[in-house]
Amino acid sequence: MNHFEPDENFALRLDKEDPLAGFRDRFHIPDDDDTIYMDGNSLGLLSKDSEESLARVMKEWKNQAIKGWLEAKPAWFHLAETLGAMAAQLVGAEANEVVCTGTTTVNLHALVSTFYRLKGSRTKILADELNFPSDIYALKGQIKLKGLPVEDQLVLVPSQDGRILDEEKIVELMTDDITIALLPSVLYRSGQLLDIPFLTRKAHERGILIGFDCSHSVGAVPHKFDEWEVDFAFWCSYKYMNGGPGSTAFLYVNKKHFHQEPLLAGWFGYVKEKQFDMVLDFQHAHSAGGWQISSPAVLSTAAVEGALKILLEAGIERIREKSIRLTEYLIFLKDHLLPADKYGLIIGTPREPERRGGHVALEGDENIWRIHQALKAKGVVPDFRPPNTIRIAPIALYNTYHDVWQTVLRLKDIIDNKEYEKFSEDRAAIT
């Protein structure tokens, strides 16, 4: 348990003692010095390493053109596998179990279309009602592709409080009509981190395949996919991985499934050495690379290389340690300086650090949208998820403890001085 003090000097001392403090200079912090970026869980910042890897690829395109496919470093032809092998170290996988390809939701389709198999009376998919909407749309589409009615076939684990999921409840719903389960690692709104090894074990005991959407955990939380025996996983690279807006995503397939034929097939999933034989029978690679569909989006992947370099250099265990300390500190300051009875804000994120991802959800009353507007006007960049949640994500690689302290102090000013009253209740498009 960490010990904290609420004064500014304590924040500055924590920064002085921070072993990862040096990484902040490797990033471009947007706007002016007074801006505090707390939205790295939506869009991670650009690092100088990513800027460099992207510039290098532009130069390779300029100077090498078609030759870049084999002669660029790394060669574009192998880019997806090369970056997959780097990312494998972050998630406890072997090099060929991860590939950098596609986009998050497309990867979901690629994986689920392979692993969603009807086995007698086992026809249903298990997911949860707090899941990211895109995942649910995709699962409904997958069910319709099987010619089955969505209403009966998609089982959504309910949440008691609209914030968190009870893992025991999830297991209760792993009944013998479920063939596959797809759950998030970290819930995007509340920040709850699910117990992946426990859920995987329980699913397997019941003959259910299980996959995870790890968009909100990779880059912030260590994973041990092989040790946990997760069947498959996928995640985006633009949140805690800092790979750039809409950058190429990742997928993991446990090697025990390499023999399965990828059904959303495409030529980049072909056995690498023979891809250019151009024969019409699909021979899939026996690796995660088999689930690629198209040519790698080289420009959208280029920045991911620099981002991975930083993550590996900092080390995911150290990143997690600092991330927990940052969110602990944020919760401490909120409890001390903004008590719920006076300020109307409550913490929606589990208080046990091992049940939390990288952000803290602050839930508010009817003023919460205007408080969010006022916070932005005061130079803090959080984000908002309806109906009532401000998400604050202090990122281990580039946020300071002083950033956290200032965020809470600015919130306090806004509420003490009713600064939010100047803002409209109308909600514009949300990012």
Ligand X SMILES: *Cc1c(COP(=O)(O)O)cnc(C)c1O
Q: How far is the CB of 41 from ligand X (least distance, A)?
A: 8
Q: How far is the CB of 102 from ligand X (least distance, A)?
A: 9
Please, which residue, 190 or 367, has the CB nearer to ligand X?
Answer: 190
Please, which residue, 233 or 311, has the CB nearer to ligand X?
Answer: 233
Question: Residue 289: which of 135, 78, 104 has the closest Cα?
Answer: 78
Q: How far is the CB of 42 from ligand X (least distance, A)?
A: 8
Please, which residue, 104 or 153, has the CB nearer to ligand X?
Answer: 104
Q: How far is the CB of 116 from ligand X (least distance, A)?
A: 17
Residue positions counted in the chain: 431
Please, which residue, 124 or 391, has the CB nearer to ligand X?
Answer: 391
Please, which residue, 134 or 175, has the CB nearer to ligand X?
Answer: 134
Q: How far is the CB of 212 from ligand X (least distance, A)?
A: 10
Q: How far is the CB of 348 from ligand X (least distance, A)?
A: 16
* Positions that interact with ligand X (CB under 6 A): 103-105, 132, 134-135, 184, 188, 213, 215-216, 236
In which residue are the tokens 């006076």 written?
342
Please, which residue, 104 or 406, has the CB nearer to ligand X?
Answer: 104
